[in-house]
Amino acid sequence: MALSLSFASCTSQQKIAETKKSTPEKYLNSISQENIKKNLYVIASDEMQGRNTGEPGQKKAGEYIINQYKKLGIPFPKGADSYYQKVPSEFMKKGFSPKLNDSENIWAYIEGSEKPEEILVISAHYDHVGMKNGEIYNGADDDGSGTVAVMEIAKAFMEAKKSGKGPKRSILFLHVTGEEHGLHGSRYYSENPLFPLKNTIADINIDMVGRRDTLNPNDNNYIYVIGSDRLSSELHTINEEMNSKYVNLRLDYKYNDRNDPEQIYYRSDHYNFAKKGVPAIFFFNGIHEDYHKPTDEVEKIEFDALTKRAKLAFALAWELANRENRIVVDKDGK
């Protein structure tokens, strides 16, 4: 009788634990193609004048991003006095390049319910290259697509929090400046982090996820995954598991090849986290014919692909933020 009662009790406790375990499906499905489209039509509009670092158009785009976070009830991080992290002009000085104005990283924050001191960063750069010869380079894909993906992922996590299913670890939604001029904003954050980098469990970086590239003319159901195995074997494995379970994109590791001539691992904001020892993963749709041209317009964005890629980033973030142990750092980053 005692053994039977004990077994029943253990089984009951196991069922309760399974019931309490949060799963991402409901919130993953709240990621809205319509909302992504609405935000991108603003972020990549002519009104933003190509979002050049420190210019009025970029600052206007930043104000729009912040207002969306305010509407969602997502605050700026603890320890900050606003949604801005100022990045001084002097910090972005680079050789003989044109002088850039003071600019800002933008951050929003959802505090973890159980391990708030551990931080997951989800990043995208919100700058582009501005205007040239009177033409506006709107950068709808680069990186308007990543910018609105981060905003939509934040919305989904906030919905989870309001339902009592908020992340166990804290999440910093980081929109960085100055990427196009030399990864300046992410470098500034990595050298002046609001939260200690030793407590930062990973960076999920989203840069160009709204199009198909020239290597995939007949298919947009893919994403290039870069850097996932450089510092943590678990980050790589978890991303594959989340994709298989929830999204089913084709994961392409072409640009993760150490010998790939494009060397894209070093060319977006995740790298400034990785070089400081923070596991980082970069989602990327590859190079297309409108890259860094005035023709990178919202009308060419494939919103089905953008939404699906945002869902993968969300599913990965959900697992990293809620799993029992933070992912291991068991590789040297090379």
Q: Is residue 119 part of a domain?
A: yes
DSSP assignment of 59-85 equals HHHHHHHHHHHHHHTPPPPTT-SSSEE
What's the pLDDT score for residue 95? 87
Q: 36: domain CATH number?
A: 3.40.630.10
Which domain, by its residues, includes 61?
Answer: 23-321
For tokens 């050049």, name the residue.
Answer: 52
- Contact assessment for residue 333 and residue 274, using Cβ atoms and an 8 Å cutoff: yes
Tokens linked to 72 = 């969602």
Q: Is residue 18 part of a domain?
A: no
Q: Is residue 94 part of a domain?
A: yes
Tell me how far apart the alpha carbons of residues 108 and 294 are, in angstroms, rounded to a whole number. Answer: 30
What's the pLDDT score for residue 98? 87
Span 212-258, pLDDT tens digits? 999 999 999 999 999 999 999 999 999 999 999 999 999 999 999 99
What HEC string does 165-183 produce? CCCCEEEEEEEECCCCCCC
Q: Is residue 92 part of a domain?
A: yes
The model's pTM is 0.94
Phi, psi at 67, each rounded to 5°: -60, -35
What's the pLDDT score for residue 300? 98
Helix pair angle (146-162, 303-322), 10° resolution: 50
Q: Is residue 104 part of a domain?
A: yes
What total of structural domains would you count in the chain?
A: 1
Span 22-65, pLDDT tens digits? 789 999 999 999 999 999 999 999 999 999 999 999 999 999 99
Q: Is residue 60 part of a domain?
A: yes
Q: Is the predicted pLDDT of residue 69 greater than 80, yes or no?
A: yes
What's the pLDDT score for residue 21? 59
Span 169-202, pLDDT tens digits? 999 999 999 999 999 999 999 999 999 999 999 9
Residue 137, SS3 per DSSP: coil
